[in-house]
A and B are shown apart, each in its own frame.
Chain A
Amino acid sequence: MVTYKFHQYQVVGRALPSEKDEAPKIYRMKLWATNEVRAKSKFWYFLRKLKKVKKSNGQMLAINEIFEKNPTTIKNYGIWLRYQSRTGYHNMYKEYRDTTLNGGIEQMYTEMGSRHRVRNHCIQIIKTATIPAKLCKRESTKQFHNSKIKFPLVSKKVRPPTRKLKTTYKASKPNLFV
């Protein structure tokens, strides 16, 4: 439907077997990247920080894309992230309402870019979770937890139905009242 920039991948890898360790431990990570190549690179980046293994002495066992199970239901996503600002590293918790986790992550990346001027590569996603409505912390997501929600659309801008019919100049000012 919508093409998401960030895809979720499951990456599985381990160190190469050696005489000291015939069957090294296998590690699995779920991470977000724009493509598979980047996903594998990110896997080794994180694994290097956790274990004494590098891409040169490790092997990739599997990489699969994870798709949304129920893209027709709305969920509240909580995202824990670590980002680098101009003065240091900080942790953050953000909440988003969306139908898919990839959509929520994309919202997070664009919001961090706009609100905090953080570039995509300076953000590390620590954890994501689907939060039930009762446990949501942010007012901006809680205000939509209303089964009888009702609001007017305050300004109606009439757009041409295709980009081809767009014109730079118009004869008169548009009437924005609904």
Chain B
Amino acid sequence: MPFKRYVEIGRVALVNYGKDYGKLVVIVDVVDQNRALVDSPDMVRCQINFKRLTLTDITIDIKRTPKKKELVKAMEAADVKNKWENSSWGRKLIVKKRREALTDFDRFKLMLAKIKKASLVREELAKLKKQTKA
């Protein structure tokens, strides 16, 4: 099973620990075996340990240590935001965020919607059962 996601200049990664938790960042340069120089349109360029990153499948086309403007342009060109939000991983994170932000009233509405959906499904299932029996 060969490796598919490499640490390389232009690899998009998700920060999974620390102050910038949950952010998508781009690996802009490699400091040494354990650390990378990492950048994102809304943060100062900083170094971060690989243990705090999870690599994604998205890469963008940049040269080593690009200027901030070039980085933003390359991210737009590769359409990182949309690719991420349409990927199954990105979608799961968005759903998780929405679930965390539910109020008690929202959860009540959700419960009613689930009950309604379940009753509809059961109605259809009963109809199908009757058909096969008959």
Contacts and interface: CB of A to CB of B under 8 A. Distances in A.
Interface in A68-82: 72-74
Given A147-B63, A153-B55, A99 B47 contact: yes
Interface stretch (B3-11, B103-111, B112-120): B3-11
A50 interface: no
B interface, how many residues as a size bin? 20 to 34
B46 interface: yes
A99 B5 contact: no
B126 interface: no
Q: Which 9 A-B pairs have the closest CB atoms?
A: A152-B3, A72-B45, A150-B8, A150-B6, A147-B64, A97-B32, A152-B6, A149-B30, A99-B47
A150 B7 contact: yes
A170 B1 CA distance: 27
A interface, how many residues as a size bin? 20 to 34
B31 A99 contact: yes
Interface of B: 1, 3-9, 16-17, 21, 29-32, 37, 44-47, 50-51, 54-55, 63-65
Nearest to B18: A161
26 contacts: A72-B44, A73-B65, A74-B29, A74-B37, A97-B31, A98-B31, A144-B30, A144-B31, A147-B9, A149-B9, A149-B30, A150-B6, A151-B6, A152-B5, A153-B5, A153-B7, A154-B3, A157-B51, A158-B16, A161-B16, A161-B17, A161-B21, A177-B1, A178-B3, A178-B5, A178-B55
